[in-house]
Amino acid sequence: MQNTIFLVNDEPFCLWDFDLKERNDEFLKGLDAEYFDYCLNAYLETEDEKRASVALRVSLHHALETLFSLIGAYVQAPDCAYAWLAKCTSPDLRTFVSRVAQGYPALITKLNIPSVTWETVAQTVFATYMPGTERQRSTVERFSTAWARLAHEFLDQKHIDEYNSLKHGFRVKRGGFSLVVGIEPSYGVPPPDDQMRVLGHSDFGASFFKIEPVSADKRSRSVRARRTAVNWSPERTILSLQLAYMSLNNVISALRVVNGWRASECKFLRPENDEDFDEPWKHTPGVTSINFDHVIDDTNTVSVTKQELLERIRVA
C-alpha cells in the first residue's frame, strides 16, 4: 500500500492506494486543454452573437477556474493532482489564488521554490522551455503578469456573482447596457442629446439578481435581491480565453514533466509577440457593471433569525 501527504492551502490529507503514480498519470493523460480552444472556435462560428457572447463568457470563467485549480495542484500536489482538485472547494481555490497573488510566505509547496508567487510558478512551469534563452525569460515574465491580471479578475466579487448567474442560466438576461450622463439646464428638464456624455456602452452583457443580506446582523435571515448588470467586450473575452487556453496547456505540460514525462513530448504554447499578452486589457466597454435598485435598510424590514423563521413555518 502506498501513501502521499498533500495540503489544500493549510488543510492536510493523506492519500492511500496501491498505484498512486499510475492513477496520477492516467489523470494527467486525460486532461484536454484544447477543449477550450474548441469552444472558442465553435462559438465564434455561430450566427447568434448574443447567445455566443454568453457561451464565450461562461467558457472564460470555466477556463480560469480550471487553470487556477491545476496551478494549485501543480504547486501543492503534483504527484496526486486529481486528489487536490477533488478536495479543493471554490472558497479554497479563491483562498489559494489570493495567497499566490499576495506572495503568502506560509503557503506550503512540493515545488523546489523559495516562495509561491506567479513569477516563481511560471519559472518552474517553463523550466524546460528553451532554457537559458531570452525567449524563455520573456515567456516567464509575460505569463506571470498575465496570470496576475487574470487572478485579479477571478477574485473580483462581480465576476464571481456573474459566473454563478451565468452557469445557472435561467437567472440571466442577455444584453449589455449604456450609461449616459448630462447636466440638466434646469430642474426636471433633460439635457439635449448632443450634451450627453457616454460613460459606458456594450451590446453584449447580462443582468441578474444578486441575493444579499439586508442587515449587518449575521444572525438575521432577511435578504434582498439587487438587480445587477454587466457589460462585456467580446474582443477582451476572446483574447482572454485564448490566453487561458495556452496557460492551461502549459501547466498541464509542466505537470506531466514533473511526473516523469519527457519534455520533448510536452508542448508549450505562447502568443507569437510579447505585445500580444497585453491585448485583452486594451479592450473595454467603459463602465463594466452597474446596479440601480430600491434602497432597503433595517428600518424597512424586520430582522429574523433562523429559529424564528422555522417556528413561523411550523405554525403555518
Half-sphere exposure of 290 (CA within 13 A, CB side): 17
The pair phi, psi for residue 311, each rounded to 5°, is -65, -40
Q: Give the pLDDT confidence score for residue 167 in this predicted structure.
A: 86
Q: Are 40 and 194 in contact (CB under 8 A)?
A: no
Q: Could you give the maximum distance between any two Cα atoms of the chain, in Å?
A: 82
Position 132 pLDDT exceeds 80? yes
Q: What angle do CA 247, 261, 119 make, to 5 degrees?
A: 35
Half-sphere exposure of 61 (CA within 13 A, CB side): 20
Average pLDDT of the chain is 92
- The C-alpha cell 486525460 sits at 30
pLDDT band of residue 170 (cuts 50, 70, 90) is low
The predicted-structure confidence for 265-281, as pLDDT tens digits, reads as follows: 999 999 999 999 999 99
Asked whether the whole model's pTM tops 0.85, one would answer yes
Q: Which residue has the cell 442577455?
A: 174
